[in-house]
Structure 1
Amino acid sequence: MNDTTTNRAPGRPRSERAEKAIIEATLDLLAAESGVAGVSIEAVAARAGVGKTTIYRRWPSKEALIVGALGAAKGELPAPSGASAREDLLEIARTFAAERKKRYSRCFWNVVGGAEKYPELYARYKQDVIEPRRAVIREVLRRGVETGELRADLDIEAGISMLTGSLSTKTPQETFPEGYAETVVDLLLTGIGAPS
């Protein structure tokens, strides 16, 4: 008799294909004109070709599903190399600019635009998707202050808002011109860079 045991949770293993289909279906529905209102567990299940229980095994509610899908679509910011504050901010800004080219940028607008109508969804989106990304920028700015590259009196939160705001103000249909991320970072550093 073989004594080897495996540490697998009971039940069927999760299907990556089903998870991808669920996320894609959620984002498709969220990007539609009806936005958040058009997303339901039933609609996602039908579009993804899975049962509702398959969705509920992964996400306990519609809000959790939407936030999970948005997190998957955005992904994590790249870990800054630490070469310099400018280089780190450029990496982050280029990632933000590239995200606008993705087909799901409208999803984020629909959630942000529906913040008043869906405050719990928006709060969870901010906590689970936006705040971890802001934490990466916060660390870059703090390190820049410590190394003397950035002003000692820098308001870190204002710096984060200046960077993210300039890279997220256009509508989903608009794109950034070539070199926009670099322009944003260089203009930002004009204001927050340490005096020479």
Structure 2
Amino acid sequence: MGGTETRGPIRRWFAGLGFSQMGQLLTVAILAATALFGGLDTVSTTVTSFKPGDQFSDGPFTVTVDRASFPREIRAGTWLVAPKAEGVRYLAVVATLHNDGTVPASVDDELDLRDEPNKRFFGVFRIADGSRITRIGPGLSEEVATLWTLPEDALRDGDSVTLRVWKKEFHELMVTYGQTWLDSLTEYGQVSVPVKVAP
């Protein structure tokens, strides 16, 4: 009886997870298994440096990081995308993403902002109209701004931010969850982008 009662809530918990959460859970499980066999210390990491304006392919996307700014608020025409907030600004990194694959791919974790411990992910938005975007379909391109909030004094005009774009591998998940792209544990592209601080 006890085993059946325990399995019920566990199944419901797994059923409530989305693709992104399942991917993160699988990554954690892989890291835990790796730790049992000595950790990642002996695993060689492959880093591909690229510059703003260069194309970098991570598997699902060809990524071109263009520019970065640090405004107090963000508008698209008359549409208020990100309102002013006390003590913070928005780091906005503009990039073009082209889906090279045959399935839709998530954009929320596409750019990994490094060395900013107080960052908070705000979302990814289309440059064209300021609408929120979470996935891009196969064969499609979008110019997007990925936003994080940071303390208002975190960056000065001319500072640079470092972004990683993790290589991804296509995996079959459990039958219920289908297929998805998962971040590599050892391969990524890295780009340093100068920041323009808006008044």
Say which one has the larger Rg.
Answer: 1
> Relative contact order, CA 8 A, sep 6+: which one is greater?
2
By percentage of residues, which structure has more strand?
2
TM-score, scaled to structure 1: 0.24
